């Protein structure tokens, strides 16, 4: 199991670092990602091309995450 950290500013300007497991990323991001991929490519293409690995890769790039 891999873990990924992201950093972002808090409401008071403090630095926040959040670390998530791949399971946590999939739990909250996969439903949104799946919906968007199906809208863009269609269900058939999604089923034969895309996997949870690509979902995590997209999340990592989008959030500038670092593996920890």
Per-residue pLDDT of the chain (68 residues; tens, 9 = 90+): 899 999 999 999 999 999 999 999 999 999 999 999 999 999 998 998 888 999 999 999 999 999 99
The string of DSSP codes covering 5-59 is: EEEEE-TTS-EEEEEEEHHHHHHHHHHHHHHHHHHHH-HHHHHHH--HHHHHHHH
Q: What is the pTM of this model?
A: 0.85
- What is residue 19's predicted lDDT score, i.e. its pLDDT? 98
**Total domain count, the chain:** 1
Query: Which domain does 18 fall in, by range?
Result: 3-67
- What is residue 63's predicted lDDT score, i.e. its pLDDT? 96
């Amino acid at each position: 199991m891999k873990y990924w950290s992201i950093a972002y500013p808090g409401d008071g300007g403090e630095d926040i670092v959040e670390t998530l497991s791949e399971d946590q990323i999939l739990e909250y991001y996969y439903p949104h990602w799946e919906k968007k991929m199906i809208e863009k490519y269609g269900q058939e293409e999604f089923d034969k091309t895309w996997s949870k690995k690509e979902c995590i890769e997209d999340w990592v790039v989008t959030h500038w995450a670092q593996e920890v």
